[in-house]
Amino acid sequence: MLREIYLALKGRLSHDVAELRQVDWYLDQFDQYDPEEVVLGTPVALIEFHPIHWTTLSQNVQKAILTFSVHLATSTAYGDDMDMLDLTYIDHLSIESKIFVALMNTRFTMPDIQTFLDQQGLVWTTPDGQPWTATSKDIILESIVRIDTVPHRQQSPIIVTEQVFQATIFDYSATPKYKALHLSLNLQVNIKSNE
């Protein structure tokens, strides 16, 4: 279910924070950043999941406290001590606030997750290949809260801040009603002939 949670978070941020050019998985992109090369289209939000410790409830449902970070990166032209008063940095802080507002107290149920999957062109199917529609109100993620903020701290042409969030999550993957489902990508391909 972590894949579904990631896609739901990505969908929420992409929809609610229009300034973001990209929302992606965090893969230490900033450690590998070379100022001479353009690596990221900014502003970009990168989602990082921290280690998860699960407990098992009845019927193979698992529950955990999910801690995740949203790293926000925007470009700037670093020069003197006035740069932090530059509109680029102020805009960065504005986007950071919009990320907080978009996620605070968010809850995702199975139908919510299906909506985000549909937007990505992903479809749940039954073992016989038939599309499956979420009808239950099973909670996947309950009440996101922000627990920490890490401000930008270094001279760099990219401003990077981090917000850390927590939420209770549930994984139904091993329950009989969900483990038969498959997630697939539906692609529509048009082939143009030169005849």
DSSP string for the chain:
-HHHHHHHHHHHHHHH-TT-SEEEE--STTTT--TTS----SSEEEEEEPP---EE-GGG-EEEEEEEEEEEEEE----SGGGGGSHHHHHHHHHHHHHHHHHTT--EEHHHHHHHHHHTTEEEE-TTS-B-------EEEEEEEEEEEE---S--SEEEEEEEEEEEEEE-TTSHHHHT-EEEE-----PPP--
Question: What is the band of 37 on the pLDDT scale with cuts at 50, 70, 90?
Answer: low
Report the alpha-carbon distance of residue 45 to residue 16 in Å, rounded: 12
* Fold entry, domain 2-185: STM4215-like (3.30.2000)
Domain ranges of the chain: 2-185
Q: Each residue of 69-81: pLDDT tens digit?
A: 999 998 875 555 5
pLDDT of the residue at 78: 58
What is the pTM for the complete model shown?
0.80
pLDDT of the residue at 58: 86
Determine contact, residues 61/172, Cβ cutoff 8 Å.
yes
What is the mean pLDDT of the segment spanning 51-60?
A: 92
pLDDT of the residue at 22: 92
What is the mean pLDDT of the segment spanning 13-34?
A: 86
